[in-house]
Amino acid sequence: MLQISRNLALWADILVFLLQFTETQDTNMMIGNAKNTMAVRTTVSWYLWTHQLIEVTGKDAAPFLDLIFANPIATLKVGRERYTTMLNEQAKIIDDVVVIRLKEEKFWISTLFAANMLAWMAQHKKDFCVEMEDVTKQYHMYAVQGPNSQALVNALVRNAIDELKFFSICDNWIEDVPVLPVRNLAMKSIFRRISVSSWRKSCVNMENHCMQWK
C-alpha cells in the first residue's frame, strides 16, 4: 500500500507538471511550473482542473447510470462520489469517470470526453426517464493538492472541511460565493458556478494563501 501511495503521488506530480507546462514552452514558465510541482510534494499548489461535467437528472437517473457504468451507482449515498468505468458491448473500457450524487435524482459525472459520453448515453437512454446535460461551462473546478491542501481550503471556505470524508462532497462558501468542496485521495477539489469577477477573486485568494507556505 505504501508503494501504491508513492506512485499515486508521483503521477499527481507528473499530471500537474504536464497540465501546466503544455500551456507554454517559455523557459521562465517551465521554471515556475517546476516550483509548483515541488509545492504539490512539499506544501500546496492549485490549478484550474480541465475535466468536463455531465449532469444527469430524473426519477430513473440511478438505474440508468447503473446500466451505463460498471460499478453500482444506485447504492451511492447523497454527498458521496465513486470512481467507475464505462464499457462497450465487448466489455472494453471506453471511459473512466467519477460519479457524484448531489441529490437522490441528480448526479454529476466528471469526464474528459463529455460529447462522447452524451452520445453514448443518448444511444442507451431508451425508456429511462432521465435528462443529460453538459454543464461544464457553468462551473469551474479548482484542484488543490499537497500536504497543506486541507489547510488552504480551510483558509478559504466559511466552514472547515476537517470532517469531510474521503470521496465526499458538501455545500460551503468562499465569502458569499457558493462552492462544493470534494475530497479524494489525490486532492481537494472545489466546484463553483462561473462568474468572471468572483473567479478572478478566488484565484487571487488561493494564490495569496499559497504564498505563506512557499
Q: Are 182 and 53 in contact (CB under 8 A)?
A: no
Distance CA(47)–CA(135), nearest Å, equals 20
Distance CA(193)–CA(202), nearest Å, equals 12
pLDDT digit string, tens, across residues 142-184: 888 888 888 888 888 899 999 988 899 989 988 888 888 888 7
Distance CA(51)–CA(135), nearest Å, equals 11
pLDDT digit string, tens, across residues 17-72: 445 544 544 545 444 567 777 777 788 887 777 789 999 999 999 999 999 999 99
Q: Which three cell numbers stand for residue 96?
A: 473512466
Read off the pTM. Answer: 0.73
- Cα 193-194-199 angle, rounded to 5 deg: 110
